[in-house]
């Protein structure tokens, strides 16, 4: 049983641990707030049957939920979660579970943080750095705590934490490392002259970065840099796994190095297995989740941030310089996502519209169209656009686009919004 910092998450975890013991099943209960990747690691370390993680991740403070983590330490596939849901619904109203004769069982308190950090250190190269960066980490009042400080300080980094005090209200905003929510991090990085900033979500599985000039980097900008670093800086060889709404810059890097791209549906549960069997050395999603082979097949913002620090320290270059080199070598791609409120009573109509025939978009004819998860159109020059309903429980329709420049991205998203009867987004701020 593990939990984040949300209201009543700790009580939920303790109650379920007691219920399991009542059924004769020994339970381990985390001694405090725990990031999801740490809970996933603990499942494997303890050879447990699984874990229940009480969290709503990056969602607003009034949300909560349960993640079931199977024995392999990755997200549960839909077949498993659907089966759990069916069995739970079949139980009817909540009822007290009677004590059985299954035998004595105990609740054991545990803290896997040191063992987890040892695992992550084993995945990093903390020697031979050209620079020893200064890092600012915005924990967003979540479970990420001081993990990055404990991980990177011994390597010579100076690490400052922002919003590190656990707060069930997350300071009044969603613990989602979006650009809007990381204004304080951007300001502090510039104030202190830090090398970079890292923002973690409420349960530590999502990541965003800020460079020395205060520019924001989402996963679509981070993942290509990390993939290139693993291939060129580390000498690793292997494919990359990405969801269908994640940047095609990964495809360009893979083509250059003769590696395979694995496109998956949205959801890290589709990416984790490719990491587990070694088909991909890096897996990631535009929403901020990433991991590497050799680690638990679960997204891990702590590991992602540490790899970014290693990259700038080993190469002696800041994020902006590394990104410019990638764009100079392979050509630029600009990504954007626009979230639109979608009321529950409009979902069916939206799904019907997404499944329709679109023809040309912003005056361009798609080279391919995909209706596996909403709608996606791809074009011959690696640009694309997509529209899909949020899969995280929020009443949102997400519009995505990627093209060679900000104007082309805006045109794609604006045309999709028009066709769906939605308010178009404001102009893209462009790239630096």
Of the candidate ranges 98-107, 175-184, 189-198, 400-409, the one whose mean pLDDT is the lowest:
98-107
Q: Is residue 264 included in any domain, yes or no?
A: no
Mean pLDDT of all residues in the chain?
92
Q: How confident is the model at residue 98, as a pLDDT?
A: 61
User: Is the per-residue pLDDT at 431 higher than 50?
Assistant: no
308 belongs to a structural domain: no
* Domain final position from 114, 136, 165: 114
Q: Look at residue 350 and tell me if it is in a domain.
A: yes
Q: Nearest to residue 339, comparing CAs of 182, 176, 186?
A: 176
Of 63, 84, 114, which residue constitutes the final position of a domain? 114
Long-range CB contact pairs, 408-412, < 8 A, 24+: 408/334, 408/362, 408/383, 409/334, 409/335, 409/336, 410/336, 411/362, 411/363, 412/361, 412/362, 412/364, 412/383, 412/385
- Flag whether 349 is in a domain: yes
Q: Give residue 211's pLDDT.
A: 97
Work out how many domains the chain is built from and give that number.
2
Enter the DSSP assignment of 334.
E
Q: For the ranges 5-9, 323-327, 394-398, which has the lowest average pLDDT?
A: 394-398
User: In this model, does residue 89 exceed pLDDT 70?
Assistant: yes
Task: Give domain status of residue 267, yes or no.
Answer: no
> What domain range is 413 assigned to?
334-419
Least confident of 64-68, 211-215, 423-427: 423-427
Residues 6+ apart with CB under 8 A from 226: 282, 284, 290, 304, 307, 308, 311
pLDDT at 342 over 60: yes
Lowest mean pLDDT among 91-95, 178-182, 267-271, 362-366: 91-95
Question: Each residue of 377-388: b (16+ CB within 10 Å) or e?
Answer: bbbeebbbbbbb
CATH number for position 361: 3.30.310.50
Q: Does residue 241 lie within any of the structural domains?
A: no
pLDDT bin (cut points 50, 70, 90) of residue 191 is very high
pLDDT tens for residues 117-172? 999 999 999 988 888 999 999 999 999 999 999 999 999 999 999 999 999 999 99
Among 114, 132, 155, the domain-final residue is: 114
CATH number at residue 94: 3.40.120.10
223 domain-assigned: no
In a domain, 30, yes or no: yes
C-alpha–C-alpha distance, residues 120 and 123, integer Å? 5
Burial 76-105 (b: 16+ CB within 10 A, else e): beeeeeeeeeeeeeeeeeeeeeeeeeeeee
């Amino acid at each position: 049983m593990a939990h984040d910092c949300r209201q009543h998450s700790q009580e939920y975890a303790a109650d379920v641990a007691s219920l399991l013991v009542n059924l004769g099943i020994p339970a381990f209960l985390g001694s405090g707030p725990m990031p999801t990747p740490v809970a996933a690691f603990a499942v494997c370390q303890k050879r447990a049957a699984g874990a229940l993680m009480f969290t709503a991740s990056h969602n607003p403070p009034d949300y909560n939920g349960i993640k079931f983590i199977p024995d392999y330490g990755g997200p549960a596939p839909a077949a498993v979660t659907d089966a759990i849901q069916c069995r739970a619904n079949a139980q009817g109203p909540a009822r007290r579970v009677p004590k059985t004769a299954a035998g004595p069982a105990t609740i054991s308190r545990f803290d896997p943080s040191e063992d987890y950090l040892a695992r992550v250190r084993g995945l990093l190269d903390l020697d031979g750095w050209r620079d020893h960066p200064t890092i600012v980490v915005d924990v967003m009042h979540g479970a990420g705590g001081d993990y990055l400080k404990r991980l990177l300080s011994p390597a010579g980094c100076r690490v400052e934490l922002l919003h590190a005090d656990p707060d069930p209200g997350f300071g009044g905003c969603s613990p989602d490392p979006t650009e809007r929510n990381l204004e304080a991090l951007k300001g502090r990085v510039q104030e202190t002259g830090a090398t970079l900033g890292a923002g973690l979500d409420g349960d530590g599985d999502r990541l965003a970065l800020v460079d020395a000039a205060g520019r924001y980097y989402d996963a679509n900008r981070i993942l290509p840099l990390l993939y290139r670093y693993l291939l060129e800086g580390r000498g690793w060889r292997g494919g990359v796994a990405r969801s269908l709404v994640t940047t095609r810059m990964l495809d360009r890097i893979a083509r250059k190095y003769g590696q395979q791209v694995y496109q998956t549906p949205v959801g890290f549960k589709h990416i984790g297995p490719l990491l587990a069997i070694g088909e991909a050395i890096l897996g990631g999603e535009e929403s901020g989740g990433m991991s590497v082979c050799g680690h638990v097949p679960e997204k891990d913002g702590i590991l992602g941030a540490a790899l970014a620090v290693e990259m700038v320290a080993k190469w002696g270059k800041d994020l902006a310089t590394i990104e410019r080199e990638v764009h100079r070598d392979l050509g630029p791609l600009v990504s954007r996502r626009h979230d639109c409120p979608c009321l529950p009573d409009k979902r069916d109509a939206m799904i019907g519209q997404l499944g329709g025939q679109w023809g040309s978009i912003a005056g361009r004819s798609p080279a391919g169209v995909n209706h596996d998860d909403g709608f996606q159109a791809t074009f011959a020059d690696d640009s694309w656009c997509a529209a899909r309903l949020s899969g995280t429980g929020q009443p949102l329709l997400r519009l995505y686009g990627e093209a060679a420049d900000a104007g082309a991205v805006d045109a794609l998203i604006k045309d999709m919004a028009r066709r769906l009867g939605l308010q178009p987004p404001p102009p893209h701020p462009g790239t630096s």
